[in-house]
Structure 1
Amino acid sequence: MPRERTFDAKAVKLNYLDYGSSSDPPLVMLHGGAWCWQEYLSLIPSLGAQGWHIYALDLRGNGLSGWVPDTYCLQSFAADNAEFVSRLNAPAALVGHSIGGVIALMVAAQCPDKVRALIIEDSPLTLNNYRKIIDSSRDMFGLWLHLKKSAQSQHELSLALADAYKDYPGVTSAWILFFAGCLWQLDPTFFNTL
């Protein structure tokens, strides 16, 4: 049965989905920045059916994981997830999207004997590209935080996001609802140290 659990890392409690048989090889999924483990919800059942024991984690400050204000840097994320991976019974395949991909690479470098494979999605693979993405996204991050701070509820945040993205044809209602939930749970200091 799939269950959400918590993992006590040294600095923070991490929330994660535990899905699959303990006899299957581990697959650790790391979401993109300001999102949560549910980013992978549509993939989890089929990956589980293919014989993977899935651990989909919320990064610190995201989803239902603990907040540690102003500590949201790559090294901290990597330390949390390396600690998680090092406690698994077998080497894991790591899947990472965007910042999750960078974190997966860092975890593999920190504990190569505990990582059997990497699947990296849409990740900046150089520090220079990472800086460019962060710098070009500051206005967007500012808008998200403004909408979050102005909203009185997740429902109100959903409506504000829908209004902000009304001219973006690829943005769907499902994305708005998903992202509003992620943003509502996000530590407001998440973007400070990125």
Structure 2
Amino acid sequence: MGRVSQARAEENRKRVVETASRLFREQGTRVSVADLMKAVGLTHGGFYKQFDSKEALIDEAVTHAFDELGRWREAVLEDHEGRREEAQQAMIEAYLSPRHRDNASAGCPAAALAADMARDTGEGDAHRAYSGGVRDFADWLATEDQDGITRLCTMLGAVTLARAVKDSPLSDEILTTARAALSPGR
């Protein structure tokens, strides 16, 4: 079998990072390299041509996930023609929706990866990307009247709990209650 061109190798690496980002948000960082590479359609051996270790991939995948979250925030802001508080409220509504609850693989990495990051040593790029991503999101959510950390904690906690009890009416109640708590005028 011939060597892969540099362009193809870069495309493969990008696919691995994107797929890992989705799988880690859905299943946690415990996803095996073999399962990841199978999902991408590449060989297990090819992984080590692209990455020094699984930890190196986790670093890139977490960074990628937070980059996606940043693009989502910016798209919402653009949809609301720069009206920040309207965009924030739209983001809160989308974040605390059944669709976001039920689609962790494409959702917020702060909620999806919290347990994995809590077990992290705090020394790697993944932990720095996670901490920075949480800070950026909280700063984006802040208003003159509401602290961004408080808003984000409410959102993350609600989504995490709603996912944990997703087959129960309690799940929708959690999302509804959190949306109401973060609505203007409360």
TM-score (norm 2): 0.29
* Structure 1 or 2: more strand by fraction: 1
The structure with the larger Rg is 2
TM-score (norm 1): 0.28
* Structure 1 or 2: more helix by fraction: 2
